[in-house]
Structure 1
Amino acid sequence: MIGIIGALDIELNFLFENMVIARTELIADKTFYLGHIKNQEVVVSKSDIGKVNASITATIMASYFKVKLIINTGIAGGLHPAQVGDIILANGLSYFDASTTAIDDAPHGQLGDDPLIVKTDKAYLHKAINVFNKLAYDYKIGHIVSGDKFVTKIRTLDKISKNVTNILACEMEGMAIAITAYKFNIPFISIRGISDVVEDKGQTLSYKKIAHEIAKKSSQFVLSFLGVLNESNKA
């Protein structure tokens, strides 16, 4: 079974339109939809916004539903050279708002013994790249950073940028899902469409106008990706 997590309804609506839902389960305050997409057995859930909600959802998927892969889909703010409409495939994720530098030698973004960067599974990353190329999407591969804040100023990311290179997007859930998958030894991928670019003129207006369209574009990738995985299973 493959787990799919989005934070918002708009990030999952297109997937639900293409899903055969067999049943739903309510655990904590999260609803989990079980069924099939592209003949793949899946469990899909809206985590809601933020790292705590994301980690709760991912933990339930890992421990209760025993998923073999977690896909995080949705929208994000971009950092140049990323542009509105680009799709970002994460090759690693980090926190941008976590730090214990005042009391220890850990770099900004790292907590305790956890890794500073959680890397995307290489095999699934390669399959995702093949899907991107097939779809002819404008995509970029780089790091995504997460924190409990909608970022409108580049300076918000100054500290993490000193420790993590090639940051192309920022959002509010991905690293929490990544670190949960890492601790459960479950591969994951993170796919985010750029709905706005940090500090661009009209950033928040861009988000409000185009978020639905970009969320659907990200979901279309997930749909194609699931089809590729299904073909791989038959091979």
Structure 2
Amino acid sequence: MTLIAIVSALHEELSAIDALLEGRSLQQRGGRSFHRGRLQGHEVLLVLSGIGKVAAASTATLALDAFGAQALLFTGVAGGLTPGVRVGDVVVARELLQHDLDVSPLFPRYVVPSAGRARFAADAVLADALAAAADEVLAQPHPALQRLGIGTVRSHQGLVVSGDRFVSTAVESDALRTALPDALAVEMEGAAVAQVCAAFGRPFAVLRTVSDRADDSAHVDFQRFIAEVAAEYSRDIVAAALRSL
């Protein structure tokens, strides 16, 4: 049976999914705790990566190599870049790119030298499942949205960019929009996971809930948003996607 790794950078999101796990076992490897069990009829491996590209890449490598995961889903939060991508929205990545990678003039900006490309495509089947699940979940009212002052939410699909810095000013987000006008959201892990999965030839997909606008605008209470919205979206969307696979 296919083993699917489910990875997140933040404890709150992974713990919400972990609560659904059946028949669990635990193994420690590389300073990380890998929880194995069954979820929605699938054999899954849950693991917290921590924040940043190195943490995500090393975790993905362990999941694929040491544990033999045949596919990987990464779930977490991101900052919205495109004007229509608002707090509370969900983004399913179709492509991922490292916005802070630049080895020019040896290679064009953003290109990963070992891969010869800048953009890594998510697996269509997995991304389709997440997109359909996101639409299903977002169609249901969520009381926490009103409590946090968030209005109507929607899902998006497209380019997500990653880098080892937290983008939180208008100057930074404007620069990203100028350089990468089709980028929907920015985060700190997805493109690193994409590169690792491509090297192993394993399918992957990335799901992100938009927690902020990656600029100087007012933010919702981040910890409340993670606990009351993002973690529940991760749990419900991943579960619905697994049911459909």
Deviation at 1:145, TM superposition (A): 0.8
Q: Are the counterparts in 1 of residues 172 and 215 from structure 2 also a CA contact under 8 Å?
A: no
- Which ranges of structure 2 fall in alignment gaps of 5 or more residues? 140-153
In structure 2, the CA distance between the partners of 1:17 and 1:74, relative to structure 1 (3 Å rule), is same
Deviation at 1:125, TM superposition (A): 2.1
- Which ranges of structure 1 fall in alignment gaps of 5 or more residues? 230-235
- SS of residue matched to 2:114: coil
Quote the residue 2:32 is aligned against: 30
Quote the residue 2:5 is aligned against: 3
> What pairs with 1:68-87 in structure 2 (closer than 5 Å)?
68-79=70-81, 80-87=83-90
Q: Are the counterparts in 1 of residues 131 and 155 from structure 2 also a CA contact under 8 Å?
A: no
Quote the residue 2:241 is aligned against: 225
For 2:193 and 2:23, locate their aligned partners in 1 and report how far apart those are by CA, in whole Å: 23
Task: Please state if 1:89 is matched with 2:102.
Answer: no
Q: Are the counterparts in 2 of residues 74 and 192 from structure 1 also a CA contact under 8 Å?
A: yes
Quote the residue 1:112 is aligned against: 113
In structure 2, the CA distance between the partners of 1:198 and 1:157, relative to structure 1 (3 Å rule), is closer
Quote the residue 1:233 is aligned against: none
- SS of residue matched to 1:189: strand
For 1:175 and 1:21, locate their aligned partners in 2 and report how far apart those are by CA, in whole Å: 31
- SS of residue matched to 1:72: strand
Deviation at 1:131, TM superposition (A): 2.3
Aligned-partner residue type, residue 222 of structure 1: V
Quote the residue 1:174 is aligned against: 190
The Cα RMSD (Å) is 1.8
Q: Are the counterparts in 2 of residues 90 and 190 from structure 1 also a CA contact under 8 Å?
A: yes
**Deviating more after overlay: 218-227 vs 178-187:** 218-227
Q: Are the counterparts in 2 of residues 48 and 54 from structure 1 also a CA contact under 8 Å?
A: yes
Aligned residues: 226
TM-score, normalised to structure 1, is 0.89
> What pairs with 1:50-61 in structure 2 (closer than 5 Å)?
50-61=52-63
Identity across the alignment (%): 27
Q: 2:210 aligns with which of 194, 202, 215?
A: 194
For 1:211 and 1:199, locate their aligned partners in 2 and report how far apart those are by CA, in whole Å: 18
TM-score, normalised to structure 2, is 0.85
1:179-200 superposed Cα distances (whole Å, 9 cap, x missing partner): 1001000000000001111225
For 2:167 and 2:23, locate their aligned partners in 1 and report how far apart those are by CA, in whole Å: 35
1:52-106 superposed Cα distances (whole Å, 9 cap, x missing partner): 11011100111112112100001111112210110000000111111112x3241
Aligned-partner residue type, residue 88 of structure 2: G
Q: Are the counterparts in 2 of residues 195 and 206 from structure 1 also a CA contact under 8 Å?
A: no
